[in-house]
Structure 1
Amino acid sequence: MKTHSLLCQAQQTSFNAQSLIFIKKPSPFSIPAFHISFTNPKSPFFKARSRGILLTACISHGTQGLTGGTGSGNVGNIASVSSLQKEEEEEEENQEEELQMEVNRQGLENESLWKQMKEIVVFTGPAVGLWLCGPLMSLIDTAVIGQGSSIELAALGPGTVWCDNMGYVFMFLSVATSNMVAISLAKQDKNEVQYQLSILLFIGLTCGFVMLFFTKFFGLSALSAFIGSKNLHIVPAANTYIQIRGLAWPAMLIGWVAQSASLGMKDSWGPLKALAVSSVINGIGDILLCRLLGYGIAGAAWATMVSQVVAGYMMIDSLNKKGYNAYALSVPSLSDLKTIFGIAAPVFVMMMSKVAFYALLVYFATSMGTLTLAAHQVMIQAFFMFAVWGEPLCQTAQSFLPEFFYGINRNLTKARMLLKSLAIIGTIFGLVLGIIGLSIPWFFPNIFTPDQKVIQEMHKILVQYFMALAVTPCILSLEGALLAGRDLTFASLSMTGCFSLSAVYLMLVRDRGYGLSVCWYALVGFQWARLALALQRLLSPKSILFSEDLSQYKLKELKTA
């Protein structure tokens, strides 16, 4: 009877959903109140569980105790209000989850930023020496030869354009090797790495012999056309230099492939040891052949050639010690060539534009006379010497970012964090390099030449020299990210555009009597344009850093569910 009276009373009284929920007594299996403190009431798990208990209680009592028409209406009201309440709470949960994800992401970025910067420094520290050795050899040649003859010093300008800058034409081998090896390792496929090495080494060897024969049979004609009729007196010295150094083309290109493979494996110590030995050989050879035996520019060329052959052999040996057979060469199939061409063609255009720009600077400097050309040779070699300190940042991007773009551990948030670290390091490093690089030709120009007229020409372009050098590391880190993400079409088109605008500028102002500063203002514009274009591209929503963010897609799927 007591139970019957309670049921009748429930039929006569109208309750809203909220009041019914709160007067519902907890079931015998409810968690005691003193246990609540051990569970976060804001957590999604706790909310979902609590909401399920209350809703079940309402429906249960409405169906079991309310049998009349009023009871049925109350059940409908309860279900409707509970459904709305459930939707509101789910929306609040989604907002809280989004906020928590954002907080966690920011916390991860702040926590990992210094850790990533430390890893970058550990990798780039030895890698600095890799790019430092080449320009260091040329700078040693410049300093040694400059002490003896201004004509031979001037001849080094077109000579190094042919031997060093022309090497950038084959930089596609380095980029393709590093990119393909890093991606294959991210997929944990060692057999694919071995096969890629064998075909890339074959291509490098083939290109090396092509350049050797081209230098042998067409080097003199190309130099004569490049130098022009006004400075034919420096052609014999320049030709001697390129013919001797041309013997090292096969070893040099094979060494580049092996070096890039090691860097793609995140090993910078093996290549550093090889280039350190080659630099010592080059330095000793320059002193012995040029200063003591008096062979001049020919002695410098022999020293550099021998050092490059030794470096190539040691690079190959370094790969063999990692468990790969670097002596195994494979002829690439059409499919392999198509894959490599897809990477190499845009990189080739990119590097050709860069090489053409620096060659154009030498060409215009050549037309200004021997002393001006000698000053340009000293400053451009000093520029290359310090600019390559930023190359490890480019290589770091190419070695580490593919793992976050394509690998098993794909994570675009970490990719953005890594690029942020690279940009910060590049900015700071650029300012330091600019200051140090400026001080040497300013305070110690006699290291390169005792000719006061050449030194005067050097001092006229110190400001432009600093402006171009200071932004170089940051440029290289951003362009490395573009290469790692295989945004190659944009990279090649932007470099071509920068070259074209600079060439137009040089042709418009070359005859206005501004001297060597014209060439160096063109270099400043070239560098800053590259920085602006790369930065704009990477910050674009279409960038690989943002356009394929799987975490955003997963979040949308959760919202839909």
Structure 2
Amino acid sequence: MMTIIKLIFFLPALLPTQSYAFASITNGKSVPPTPSLSRQSHDVPSLQKSINHNARKSLALRAGAATVPPPPLPTNRQLLKFYFPCLALWISGPLLSLVDTSFVGLSAASGGSATQLAALGPATTFIDGSLYLFAFLNVATTNLFASARAAAVAHGGEGDGKPGEGVVRTAARTSLYCGFGLMGLLLWVARPLIALYIGPEAASTPGLLDQAHTYVKIRALSMPTSLLGGVLQAALLGAKDSVTPLIAILYNTVINVIGDYILVSRYKMGLQGAAIATLFAQWAGTVAMIGPARRELLSPGSSLGLLPKWLSKRRPDGDIKARTFLKFAAPVLTLILGKISAFGFMTNSAAGLPGQPATLAAHQIALSLFFFASPFLEVISQLVQSFLPTYSVLPKDRNGKVMADVSEWKKTSNALVARLEKYGIFVGVLLATAVASIVTYAPGIVTKDIAVQTAAKPLAIALAAGALLTAPVAVSEGTLIARSDLGYLSSVYFVSTVLLPTVLRRIRSGGGEVQQVWVCFALFQLFRSSCFLGRIWVTRNDGGVKKDQ
């Protein structure tokens, strides 16, 4: 029971770790991106290719041709236009936590940096982990909104956007309900849960538990607006608006940096000041999106429908029920818990090793760097999920006969996967080099405490290996999701989730070193990448082409 409680409130902030890693799943099927003629997505060459392919397909079907060619592969421009808006969504949480970590580490009095950084680790874990558990709201918003838009396009009504209004209103209202409930829960039980999570060794460190609890209490006040901002970002991205989410992230970052400078660096408020700065940054980012969301996603005069039914003067038609969103919780949480358990047991093990608080502080620095780097790779997983389904379902005539050269479609599907795997490896090499260089040559960027710097340097190689191996894991995971191979995906997570804690507990009980924790993580990523790549290219190399759909 204690282990379950620890895991529920832990998050790789990336992962997100990964609200958008599942953004293309709708009832087990993927929703391909639809062309848009809006200002943000105006891409004449790629749009012309799509039109030409659809025209050839239509002519082939009418003429009774034997085969229909697969669509052209997406251009680099199309991939980049999808990559950066998604990256902005993924990176906001880790970015704010990293900013807080840097200001706290650099501004603390001599000898106090280790304790504050050690307290910041479990505190940011609780906040980011809590938000991550509600990632299904973003998943549901993206999928249901995209489905509504696609249906409107099919019926020639894409211009008014009304089919997506009910999705946006229900998503906004549900996110606020969940946000207020989460806020109350954190304010009520955060302290005993933090103490349970970090264990008695770290909790006995003077001031550590108190500072972590103060940070969580303040950040908890942002839960309603954070969840609301997430679903608005998801809907705007589904509407092909790549500008507004980027502006919101800019608001978040600038206000957080300014707030940390004033409250942490100038007024020496420590973790309390960092929490207040991040709180106002998240409020500002959400407020910045409300106006554009109303103008772009809703009809003139409509509201976001944030009030409950009994307080609303007028109930717009077309709103979908909240349980439509909540049904996404089970499949998403299955994979989420598999991901967060790894990081949860890592932090728990680091908290129980000798040399506190420097040991846990060094682990927090490595963890923050990894969480900051991960979104750059995880977004490539979303690229696979969004573009690959186009090449997976073969066209058929009215009698259900397949009108395609299966080998040609399989070749095109595998070509896209191989292309994105190469892109992922390239980005992974850059990120691994960057995080290892910071830990080895410039630890002063995140802390002035010599003891923490010394404890962090041995983590460089294992941290770099874990970051590099995340590239094939992310791309392969996206491929398996796009090809609906969720059973195999879940089984790998289950096996690795059982094996990793066993090894980490031995390290903790044996009083090992913190770098051993990160070596285990690198091996964990190696196991997952080997299983996923083997499934794609060896045991099931069918290109994901489905003949029976």
TM-score calculated relative to the size of structure 1? 0.72
Please tell me whether residue 265 in structure 1 is matched to residue 250 in structure 2: no
Instruction: Give the distance between the partners of 1:402 and 1:176, measured in 2 at CA.
Output: 18
Alignment of 1:42-441 (within 5 A): 112=72, 116-147=75-106, 148=108, 149=112, 150-188=114-152, 190-232=161-203, 233=206, 234-324=208-298, 327-328=304-305, 340-368=325-353, 369-401=356-388, 416-441=414-439
Alpha-carbon separation, structure 1, partners of 2:101 and 2:191: 21
Q: Do 1:168 and 1:352's aligned partners in 2 also have CA atoms closer than 8 Å?
A: no
- Once the two structures are superposed, residues 399-452 of structure 1 have per-residue CA deviations (whole angstroms, 9 ceiling, x without a partner) of 444566689999966655443332221111111111122111211111111222
**Superposed CA offset, 1:279-332 (max 9, x none):** 000000000001111111100000111111122223333332323367135889
Distance in structure 2 (CA, Å) of the matches to 1:539 and 1:328 = 48
Instruction: Flag structure 1 segments of 5+ consecutive residues without an equivalent.
Output: 1-96, 554-561
Deviations 1:4-31 (A, max 9, x none): xxxxxxxxxxxxxxxxxxxxxxxxxxxx
Determine which structure has greater relative contact order: mean sequence separation of CA pairs < 8 Å that are 6+ residues apart, divided by chain length.
2
Aligned partners of 1:133, 1:519: CA distance in 2, in Å? 26
Structural mapping, 1:16-35, within 5 Å: none
Q: Give the stretch that moved more between structures: 430-439 or 540-549.
A: 540-549
- CA distance in 2: counterparts of 1:484 and 1:303, whole angstroms: 39
Q: Is the 8 A contact 1:349 1:496 kept in 2?
A: no
Equivalent pairs, count: 446
CA distance in 1, matches of 2:94, 2:323: 33
Supply the distance in 2 between the matched residues of 1:502 and 1:185 (Cα, whole angstroms). 42
Report the CA distance between 1:338 and its aligned residue: 6.2
1:415–1:512 distance in 2 versus 1, CA, 3 Å: same
Structure 2: gaps (5+ residues): 1-64, 154-160, 310-316, 397-402
Alignment partners' CA distance in 2, 1:312 and 1:216? 22
Cα–Cα, structure 1 residues 405 and 194, in superposed 2: closer, same or farther, change >3 Å?
A: farther
Mapped contact 1:178–1:398 kept (Cα < 8 A) = no
Distance 1:318 1:528 in 2: 43
1:75 is matched with none
Q: Distance in 1 between matches of 2:123 and 2:389?
A: 37
Maintained 8 Å contact 2:136/2:325: no
Shift of 1:381: 0.3
CA distance in 2, matches of 1:287, 1:260: 30
Q: Distance between the aligned counterparts of 1:335 and 1:493, measured in 2?
A: 33
* Partners of 1:278 and 1:308 within 8 A in 2: yes
- Whether the aligned pair in 2 keeps the contact of 1:434 and 1:470 (CA below 8 Å) is yes
Amino acid at match of 1:350: L
Find the aligned partners of 2:503 and 2:128 in 1 and give their Cα distance: 25
Name the amino acid aligned to 2:372: M
Q: Is the 8 A contact 1:146 1:448 kept in 2?
A: yes
2:516 corresponds in structure 1 to 518
**Shift of residue 379 of structure 1?**
0.9
The question of whether the paired residues in 2 share the 8 Å contact of 1:179 and 1:399 is answered with no
Segment of structure 1 superposing worse, 225-234 or 284-293: 225-234
CA distance in 2, matches of 1:360, 1:257: 30
1:474 to 462, 472, 475: 472
Verify the 8 A CA contact 1:264 1:398 in the aligned structure 2. Answer: no
Rate the CA distance shift 1:244–1:338 in 2: closer, same or farther, 3 A.
closer
- The residue number in structure 1 matching 2:499 is 501
- Does the 8 Å contact 1:133/1:276 carry over to 2? no
Cα distance, 1:387 vs structure 2: 1.4
Distance 2:459 2:257 in 1: 28
Distance 1:214 1:452 in 2: 38
Once the two structures are TM-superposed, the CA of residue 340 in structure 1 deviates from its matched residue by 4.0
AA aligned to 2:531 is L
Q: What is the alpha-carbon distance in structure 1 between the residues aligned to residue 490 and residue 303 of structure 2?
A: 30
Contact kept, 8 Å, 1:126 with 1:272, in 2: the verdict is yes
Seq. identity, %: 28
In terms of fraction of residues, the more helix-rich structure is 1
Pair 415,256 (structure 1): closer, same or farther in 2 beyond 3 Å:
farther
Residue deviations 1:232-283 (CA, integer Å, cap 9, x gap):
3311000000000000001111111121222333433321111111100000
Q: Does the 8 Å contact 1:163/1:242 carry over to 2?
A: yes
* One-letter amino acid of the counterpart of residue 477, structure 2: E
Given that 2:393 and 2:547 are in contact with CA atoms closer than 8 Å, whether structure 1 keeps it comes out as no
Residue type matched to 1:131 in 2?
W
Matching residue's letter, 2:81: V
